[in-house]
Amino acid sequence: MKTKLSARSSPATSITCNPISIYQNQENMNTKTTLITICVVITISSRLRGAATNTSVVVDLDGNQLQANTKYYILPTRHGGGGLALSIRDRRDPCPPNVMQETDGASVGLSLKIFPADGKAEIDLQSDLNLAFMAATICVQRTVWRLGESDWSTGRRYVRSDGVVGRPGAETVRNWFKIEGSGQGYKIVYCPSVCSACRVECGVVGVYVENGRRWLALGGQPLFIAFKKGNHSSWN
């Protein structure tokens, strides 16, 4: 059974973003795009502020509990960058690709599906989860998130791909992530509990900006997120 949370505690209904008024007297298209993105981010943050802190479930922007094996987009709740996708960070080590945040604030990135280790149909906070992009890559590898080893040049542990869905245990321990609530949306953490005998380095997944591109790794700038369901190519 799907869970839908009441939005009465959220101030989102009082926020109105009028593109016409935003565009007025603005001659630069980049300025227009930035203003629209800020407006959308404010709305997302307002919708999630209550849900992300007061419940044990994870909800999307419509207030519905997230469903396993269902397409969602992960969107930032704060200004700076767009949705999430895959890209090559280091040409010397191109495969598997890294998980990154789009630099264009108007881009929703790639859709993904979520698969909980407990096999439930709905997604709860603090559950061990596989995150899998619905996309193909030039590497012809799986697009399930997997935490990489410490990078030889930066020492950072980047989020990459080529994980597998399911099979919780020692061999797949780096494939499991969790969703936690915060006052600014949700955040993704790495602290798997699928292997009690494994020693893991727990941490919050954030963003590192390198040469103008935004890469997901343990630590870095905080990344507060929301989930948008369905087949969408824009914020609307």
Q: For position 233, what pLDDT does the model report?
A: 46
Q: Which residue has the tokens 């780096």?
A: 174
User: Lowest-pLDDT range, 16-20, 36-40, 124-128, 157-161?
Assistant: 16-20
Instruction: Using alpha carbons, select from 52, 143, 124, 110 the residue that is nearest to residue 233.
Output: 110
d(CA 16, CA 14): 6
Q: What is the pLDDT of residues 100-131, one digit of tens each?
A: 999 999 999 999 999 999 999 999 999 999 99
Q: Which two tokens stand for residue 158?
A: 């980047």
Highest mean pLDDT among 18-22, 139-143, 200-204: 200-204
Which residues touch 33 (CB under 8 Å, ≥6 apart)? 105, 106
DSSP the chain: ---B---TT-GGGG----HHHHHTT---HHHHHHHHHHHHHHHHHHHHHHHHHH-SB-B-TTSBBPBTT--EEEEESSSS---EEEE-S-TTS-SSPEEEE-SSTT--B--EEEEETT--SB-BTT--EEEEES---TT----EEEEEEEPTTT--EEEEEEE-SS--SGGGGGG-BEEEEETTEEEEEE---S-TT-----EEEEEEEETTEEEEEESSB---EEEEESS-SS--
By the 8 A CB rule, do 180 and 172 touch? no
What number is the average pLDDT over the span 134-155?
Answer: 93
Q: What is the pLDDT of residues 46-78, one digit of tens each?
A: 555 544 444 789 999 999 999 999 999 999 998
Cα separations in angstroms, 79 against 70, 173, 184: 26, 32, 12
Q: For position 198, what pLDDT does the model report?
A: 94
Q: For position 47, what pLDDT does the model report?
A: 53
pTM: 0.78
212 vs 21 pLDDT, higher one: 212
d(CA 104, CA 33): 9
